Structure 1
Amino acid sequence: MMTITEWENHSVVLSKSFGGVGLVKHFAVIGDPIAHSLSPVMHNAGYKALNLAADYQKFQVSPEDLGEAVLGLKALGFSGWNVTVPHKETILPFLDELTEEAVRAGAVNTVKVDKGRLIGHNTDGSGFVRSLQEHMELDERQQIVILGAGGAAKGIAMALAPFQAQLCIMNRTPERGAELVGKVLEWGGQAHQEEWGRGAWLAQADCVIQTTSIGLKKEEYPFSLEGIRPGTLVVDIIFNPWETPFLHSAKAMGCKTVNGIDMLLYQGVNAWEFWLEDKAPLESMRKALYQALAV
């Protein structure tokens, strides 16, 4: 992770390596914390694969410094940047325009500088949908359970809404779950709420998506998945650890399990294509991520 001064020195060297100062496009991710981010790994691998004059860095930005950081990135000539926790909602007032995806999600994870204007976009939901479509079809026949109602759940639910899948929202705080249900319905999707915990939904779900932070420290899930149908697709958006206790339990019950690495991949691919308006080198980016995690 570089400081701004180190980045400026790096930028001059990199620009000269491509034939002259000013030719390189600069991208980044900002967040707090940020040291763990793998976004630079996949983006820089993509630039290398296509021999693009571009680089991608990560910057630690505390909540109180967000506005200054946004102005600084723009002033330094960045073409765009990703936004991660805790800035996805608080960055909204500093932007000039939002895409429909950002409005729908109520959050931004990607910013593009376009003729001096800062355009906020959200690729979290669309990235998750692209990863999910590798494993199942999405239509009104699917019963999809979303565990959690936080920022990640909101992005996923709102991205699934246009497919008319039957969404079941479950959250430890019912009020937040009800709020997300209302938002999905407002945008024309299908959703209802169930009580947090085991229930009849286990035998009805075609897909269960775990969106909370439970499992990051390898802790057991608060309730069992006993009663789930074998073959059900079970997704945990956590990818480190590679297999959470939640996924381990689902696998033991005969479910097909998927972690969150491809959500990370596809949200990055979608951000790339939003910034550069060209097809991203998907397999090069995927390979870099998997190598970084040694899997």
Structure 2
Amino acid sequence: MEIDGRTGLYCLIGSPVGHSGSPAMYNYSFQKTNLNHAYLAFDVGLEQTEAAVEGLKAIGCKGFNVTMPCKTKMAELADELSDAAALIGACNTVVIEEGKLHGHNTDGIGFVRNLKERGVDVKGKVMTVMGAGGAATAIQVQSALEGAAKIHIFNRKDEFYANAENTAMKIMEKLPGVEVKVYPLEDRQKLYEKIGESDILVNATKVGMKPMEDQSLIEDPAVFRPELVVADAVYNPRETKMLQEAKAEGCRIVLGGIGMLLRQGEAAFHIFTGENMPVKEVEEKFFQ
């Protein structure tokens, strides 16, 4: 990769970013697609977000990804938001054009594309989504935008419960054809009842992620049935306890979060460049 006076700059902002695989993935993709761009990561705290964004605009940065804790603040700073970013209230991908900040959110796109790769379309489907944090909200919103019929949201009665109720309200205002209901995760009977009515079950909480890999929110594996699509936003470990039990019960389609991660990166790459990321090569090099 050669850098010259015409190399376009893309980057990641957030904190911490030292562990991020994004620079390696994007720089490899720029090289493979013969694009004269470079991608860096900058450690930016919440309080520095606005100053950092102004600096990126001033130096002619073409676009950037946003990670925690800056995603919500970025949605406030953007001049324009995609439908998904506006409904989610958070931005993870920004393009700078003529000094204007165009904000997107590709997290949910990554989830929906990952399902499509396995032949599953959310259109017309009934979904149960466990969680109400950033990833969960993105999944709920993008699924609604892509035509899901019903979304049952389950979350603990914690500080995120109001967030789930707010998401449901915003989705139904924007998309009256989609029915969204929110229930407490503590009500196991209701959870299993709604899973029984669903085509797709999603865990979008941290339960199952290391060091909680021996845990699952589904305590009764009997709720799994062969035609139920079971997806997990967790990608470490690759296969959570929930997915292992779903497989053991005969679920034909189970998906971990690694594909969602890859596909949201692919979506951001296309938003940045208008080109297609070399997905297969990226997957083999960075996601095996």
Aligned counterparts, 1:1-295, within 5 A = 14-16=2-4, 21=5, 23-135=6-118, 136-140=120-124, 142-162=125-145, 163-173=147-157, 174-188=161-175, 189-196=178-185, 197=188, 198-219=191-212, 220-226=215-221, 227-255=223-251, 256-290=253-287, 295=288
Partner of 2:94: helix, strand, or coil?
Answer: strand
Aligned equivalents of 2:235, 2:220: Cα separation in 1 = 20
The answer to whether the 8 Å contact 2:75/2:85 transfers is no
Aligned match of 1:5: none
The answer to whether the 8 Å contact 1:202/1:225 transfers is no
Instruction: State the Cα deviation string for residues 47-101 of structure 1 (Å, max 9, x = none).
Output: 1211221111222211222122212222333210001112111123332222333
Aligned match of 1:8: none
Over the aligned positions, Cα root-mean-square deviation in angstroms equals: 2.0
Aligned equivalents of 2:28, 2:264: Cα separation in 1 = 15
Aligned equivalents of 1:233, 1:222: Cα separation in 2 = 16
Partner of 1:36: helix, strand, or coil?
Answer: coil
Superposition deviation, residue 155 in structure 1: 1.2
TM-score after normalising by structure 2 = 0.87
Partner of 1:242: helix, strand, or coil?
Answer: coil
State percent identity of aligned pairs. 34
Superposition deviation, residue 222 in structure 1: 4.1
Aligned equivalents of 1:83, 1:157: Cα separation in 2 = 20
Instruction: State the Cα deviation string for residues 166-221 of structure 1 (Å, max 9, x = none).
Output: 21111112433322222221121222233313421233322111111222224112
The answer to whether the 8 Å contact 1:218/1:241 transfers is no
Partner of 1:129: helix, strand, or coil?
Answer: helix
Aligned equivalents of 1:178, 1:249: Cα separation in 2 = 30
> CA, structure 1 residues 115+225, in 2 after alignment: closer, same or farther (shift >3 Å)?
farther
> CA, structure 1 residues 191+37, in 2 after alignment: closer, same or farther (shift >3 Å)?
same
Superposition deviation, residue 110 in structure 1: 0.6
Structure 2: segments with no counterpart, 5+ residues: none
The answer to whether the 8 Å contact 1:225/1:250 transfers is no
TM-score after normalising by structure 1 = 0.85
Aligned equivalents of 2:270, 2:207: Cα separation in 1 = 31
Letter in 1 for 2:89: G
Superposition deviation, residue 145 in structure 1: 0.8
Size of the aligned set, in residue pairs, is: 273
The answer to whether the 8 Å contact 1:45/1:284 transfers is no
The answer to whether the 8 Å contact 2:3/2:38 transfers is no
